[in-house]
Structure 1
Amino acid sequence: MEGRELLMRICHFVARGMERKKGCGRSASEWRGIVLLLLVFVYGAGVWYYRDHFLPGTVVDGIKLSRMSRRDAEALLESYTLTLEERMADGAAAEEVLTGRQLGLSWGDEGGLRVLLEEQNPWQWPFAVWQPHEKKGMVIWDKTRFYKTMDGLRGFSAAFASAPVDARLSEYTQGVGYTVLPEERGNTLDRDRTLDCIRKAMGALKPRADLEENGCYREPGRTAGDEGLQRLAEEMNRYVSTEVIYRFGNAEEVLDGRTIHRWLRAERDRVILDKEGVSEYVASLRKKYDTIFRSRTFMTSYGEEIELREGDYGWWMDSARETEELYQMICQGRSGMRTPAYFQTAAMYGSRDYGDSYVEINLTAQHLFVYKNGKRVMESDFVSGNVASGDATPEGIYGLTYKERDATLNGDDYESMVSYWMPFNRNVGLHDAVWRERFGGDIYRAGGSHGCINLPYAAAAKLYGHVEKGMAVICYTLPGTASGSVTAQTARDTAQSVIDAIDRLGTVTRDSGKRIERIHALYERLTSEARRYVTNYEQFLRAEKRYREL
């Protein structure tokens, strides 16, 4: 019982006694004597008691030692235990008990408590109730032992502790896409916060310390509810939900999330689409389906199959443009059918990309065939490039570049006006040659062209009506097919070129000058015999007169 409480009880006892003094037969002086004796007894007992017990209100380093003996105080540290309330990796509760010895707690100097007792004045014990006595620096802790114990805590052990894991995106799953994986709290302790918590708890000799309540665990930096992470998942799913379908004839290529997800990465909550990955994909399509500069077989009209190794005909994908357009399509999340961007196309996909409409030119036989939709629509003799002068027409498969009426072909030593011009290999093409009287045979060996395919005017006119830009032109040599047959071009045939030019003149205007000059030149190049067959020459003269009058 504290001295203050004892005095209060004595005073209460005396007051009650004095109230009953008449009934007890005792006088007031007698009661005062009794009280005095009691007080002297109590005071003396306190002096005797506090010779080896700490005075009321004695606090050492935050530890209350009131009315404790030195042995009690020593036992207090020796028996002290601190129970740490911990968290398992799965979130379950666990406990770990540390003793005062493990924590390195002691009273320091063995004589410290004795000196503290000797320094206190037991005669003043009644006043100690109102004058608390605090002492610091007596409880010490062995840092070496303390930190060794801390190092052994389960929360710092890799075998027990699981590190926190931030919420994150899942790996791509076909049909599902990306999901936000929840954070994992784990149970790895923060060393500084944990040591601080334990030091405070043992300093006050607290029996328990809740490590989670005191914020000692490392926590994930990002939770599943993070708005940035949710937006990132939505954007990633928009990318992988894109489906682009290419059709190459009967073959189909589907680009979807199974491939696109490999091109995605996240940087600062932004989706980055790897353009290099898109480029590599386009390159794989080009490698698989482009046919330009590749060998292909061809069944000739002579029943013999040959291999075409030269030429620039075929599918030719524009990789740079296709990469950019496909990249933008994926970025915008647009799905659908797609036709690649091409520099050049062919008639069909596959090894027979020239299709069933083409011009077949046998340079050995000096004979050509034209096929439309698999049917032969015309054939003709021709004269190809002059072999003797090194101007032989090159072999290979090419695409018709364009076709043009009334062209003038210029070279180093020539200028030729033609009515039908159909180039297929740079400046090599098919055209009429009204200056020639014969076609076919072996004329080409020493009397051939500068490389072009010279045709009779009628054949060139007919061919012009069958061919279109991009149509395959196949040039080859085939031993054993040389022919001695020759096709003659008559004066009437050459005159037709002028007749057709005059008919196309139409209404004369101020812009008709060049066409009139051209007709003049064509007419002058005709033989005198051929001129007689120009039946509409008078029509031309009238048109010329009208032009001069304008």
Structure 2
Amino acid sequence: MKRIALGILVALALVYGGGAYYFSQHTFPNTSFNGEDRSYESVSELHSYRDAEKPVQITGRGGKELSIPAEDISLKKKPAGTPELAQNAVAWPVAFFNTYPYQVEYTYEYNEEQLGQVLSESVFMQEQTDPVNASLQQEEDGYVIVPEEVGTKIEPEKLQQAVAEELDQGNTVITLPDTAYVQPAITQEDTALQEEQAFFNSLYETKIVYDFEDREYVFTGQTLIDLYDKTADGYEINYDRTRAMLADMATETDTFGQDREFTTYYGNTITIPGGPSVYGWLMDVDSTTDEFIGWVEERHSEVTTPFYFHKAMNRETDEIGDTYIEIDLDDQWMYVYLEGELIDEGPTVSGQPSFGTPTPVAVNFIIDKMKDRVLRGIEPESGEEYETPVDYWFSINWSDVGIHNSTWRTEFGGDIYQWLGSYGCINVPDHLARTIYDYIPIGTPVISY
């Protein structure tokens, strides 16, 4: 019995000693690295490369994912450095009843050519969307910045570089960084874009209004922006384009020298030629342009009127208004209106056609009002000078045609003008001359037809 017991003790000692020696060179049972079973492995080989079991998982933009089996790129791994094992070889018997989990960092090696091939054929290189630059978008009250869109366009070299950098850092679960993708050239943080937005919006806050009483011309926002040219130094207002815009306004609103419709005393609408007329509005486009550009550059808002070479009595579309003198050359009759009321009327004698001095069909205006004027000129038939005193004189154009009383006449109207007419002026009885002098202001339109 003693021999048997001794034999058992020797055997146990040998087993124990052999186990202690073995586990001084190998890992304990129930040893794991990051959940992977590494039991009974040679300690000297723990830091050697071995085939990786898990695939490389890559996630990118647009929900794209890729799983690369380790063998497709010859992926191998080893712990970074030599793991420090918390095991005592002499206590190996109890190891079967314990667990020894370790968290370790791995380093990887792989075949770069295989990795490049897999990535070049991957989902990341398919159905790519280009990045979209941040931009300005016009809205009702100005411009807003539309943020950039990053897209999914990626370059093979950058893709492989991004994956390689992650693998080199020991990561096999990879989210592609922004640097792997083609980036928008302009983002919403771009200083130049923000400055352009501020520039445009300052023009939306600027409003220049030309008031024509019954209508307005409003220049603001995009209309002002379109006047600028982009240069190397920023934006510069284009003089010619600005002047052309205001010249269009002049074309639409100027009436000087333009044919115009007129409703006569009898309610007939007639067209009076603009050529002989001196009444109407004529804009000074150059001066208006200079002032306009100054206001725009200063971001100065204003309600104003243009500069004019010539002005009429009323700025509304109906520039004749309700105070005017109407002369019917066929009927040889004058109507005097004040604020829409017919305050006087009577016969006239106009220019004699046979002298070559007919009263022009035109829209003119009262240029001045005088009393006790001496009219001087040359008689068409004799060529002799004449001097004729009148009590009232009203110039109506720039060719010495006017309205005046004629004390030497005892009759007016009818066809007197055909054989005893004037040299172009409109002769009127005293009462009409007094009415005009007393009630009708300078600038009042005179319509003869």
Q: Normalising TM by the smaller chain, what interval?
A: 0.5 to 0.7
Q: Tell me the equivalent position of 2:268.
A: 305
CA distance in 1, matches of 2:180, 2:173: 10
TM-score, scaled relative to structure 2:
0.61
Q: Tell me the equivalent position of 1:168.
A: 135
User: Residues 408, 191 of structure 1: CA spacing in aligned structure 2 closer, same or farther, 3 A cutoff?
Assistant: farther
CA distance in 2, matches of 1:154, 1:243: 54
Q: Tell me the equivalent position of 2:68.
A: 97
Structure 2 gap segments, 5+ residues each: 1-43, 75-109
Mapped contact 1:380–1:459 kept (Cα < 8 A): yes
SS at match of 2:184: coil
Equivalent in 169, 187, 193 of residue 152 of structure 2: 187
Q: Tell me the equivalent position of 1:387.
A: 353
Mapped contact 2:255–2:281 kept (Cα < 8 A): yes
Give the C-alpha shift of residue 474 in structure 1: 0.9
Q: Does 1:243 align with 2:207?
A: yes
Question: Which amino acid in structure 1 is aligned with residue 417 of structure 2?
Answer: Y
Question: Which amino acid in structure 2 is aligned with residue 337 of structure 1?
Answer: V
Which one has a larger percent strand, Structure 1 or Structure 2? 2
CA distance in 2, matches of 1:212, 1:181: 25
Q: Tell me the equivalent position of 1:426.
A: 398
CA distance in 2, matches of 1:317, 1:460: 32
Measured against aligned partners, the alpha-carbon deviations of 1:286-336 in whole angstroms (never above 9, x if no partner) come to 565555524323232xx4534132234344444454455444434433334
Mapped contact 2:64–2:124 kept (Cα < 8 A): no
CA distance in 2, matches of 1:285, 1:460: 39
CA distance in 2, matches of 1:426, 1:197: 87
CA distance in 1, matches of 2:302, 2:352: 52
Bigger shift: residues 450-459 or 356-365: 450-459
CA distance in 1, matches of 2:331, 2:165: 108
How many residues align structurally?
A: 361
Measured against aligned partners, the alpha-carbon deviations of 1:18-45 in whole angstroms (never above 9, x if no partner) come to xxxxxxxxxxxxxxxxxxxxxxxxxxxx
Question: Which amino acid in structure 1 is aligned with residue 321 of structure 2?
Answer: G
Q: Tell me the equivalent position of 2:185.
A: 221
CA distance in 2, matches of 1:296, 1:81: 93
Give the C-alpha shift of residue 394 in structure 1: 1.6
Q: Does 1:399 align with 2:368?
A: no
User: Residues 166, 284 of structure 1: CA spacing in aligned structure 2 closer, same or farther, 3 A cutoff?
Assistant: same
Question: Which amino acid in structure 1 is aligned with residue 185 of structure 2?
Answer: G
Give the C-alpha shift of residue 239 in structure 1: 0.7
Mapped contact 2:406–2:430 kept (Cα < 8 A): yes
Q: Tell me the equivalent position of 1:20.
A: none
Mapped contact 2:214–2:317 kept (Cα < 8 A): no
CA distance in 2, matches of 1:283, 1:253: 12
CA distance in 1, matches of 2:55, 2:170: 7
Q: Does 1:449 align with 2:416?
A: no
CA distance in 2, matches of 1:456, 1:395: 21
Give the C-alpha shift of residue 241 in structure 1: 1.9
Q: Percent identity?
A: 23
Structure 1 gap segments, 5+ residues each: 1-65, 104-138, 477-550
Mapped contact 1:80–1:205 kept (Cα < 8 A): no
CA distance in 2, matches of 1:279, 1:101: 71
Alignment of 1:308-457 (within 5 A): 308-311=271-274, 312=277, 313-348=279-314, 352-379=318-345, 381-403=347-369, 413=383, 415=385, 421-432=393-404, 436-437=408-409, 440=412, 441-455=414-428
User: Residues 140, 151 of structure 1: CA spacing in aligned structure 2 closer, same or farther, 3 A cutoff?
Assistant: closer
Alignment of 1:489-504 (within 5 A): none
User: Residues 470, 83 of structure 1: CA spacing in aligned structure 2 closer, same or farther, 3 A cutoff?
Assistant: farther
CA distance in 1, matches of 2:409, 2:178: 110
Question: Which amino acid in structure 2 is aligned with residue 163 of structure 1?
Answer: D
Mapped contact 1:296–1:351 kept (Cα < 8 A): no
SS at match of 2:353: coil
Give the C-alpha shift of residue 468 in structure 1: 3.8
Measured against aligned partners, the alpha-carbon deviations of 1:106-141 in whole angstroms (never above 9, x if no partner) come to xxxxxxxxxxxxxxxxxxxxxxxxxxxxxxxxx997
Question: Which amino acid in structure 1 is aligned with residue 121 of structure 2?
Answer: G
Equivalent in 116, 140, 152 of residue 121 of structure 2: 152
Q: Does 1:88 align with 2:61?
A: yes
CA distance in 2, matches of 1:260, 1:456: 56
SS at match of 1:369: strand
Mapped contact 1:85–1:94 kept (Cα < 8 A): yes
CA distance in 1, matches of 2:134, 2:312: 52
SS at match of 1:383: coil
| Alignment root-mean-square deviation, CA | 4.7
Measured against aligned partners, the alpha-carbon deviations of 1:395-430 in whole angstroms (never above 9, x if no partner) come to 132233445675765568465556665333430521
Question: Which amino acid in structure 1 is aligned with residue 272 of structure 2?
Answer: R
User: Residues 431, 100 of structure 1: CA spacing in aligned structure 2 closer, same or farther, 3 A cutoff?
Assistant: same
Measured against aligned partners, the alpha-carbon deviations of 1:158-211 in whole angstroms (never above 9, x if no partner) come to x2x333333332x22224x22233333333224444455667889x89775968
CA distance in 2, matches of 1:314, 1:424: 13
Mapped contact 1:366–1:383 kept (Cα < 8 A): yes
Question: Which amino acid in structure 2 is aligned with residue 396 of structure 1?
Answer: A
Q: Does 1:470 align with 2:443?
A: yes
Which one has a larger percent helix, Structure 1 or Structure 2? 1
Mapped contact 2:163–2:176 kept (Cα < 8 A): no
SS at match of 2:325: strand
Q: Tell me the equivalent position of 2:194.
A: 230
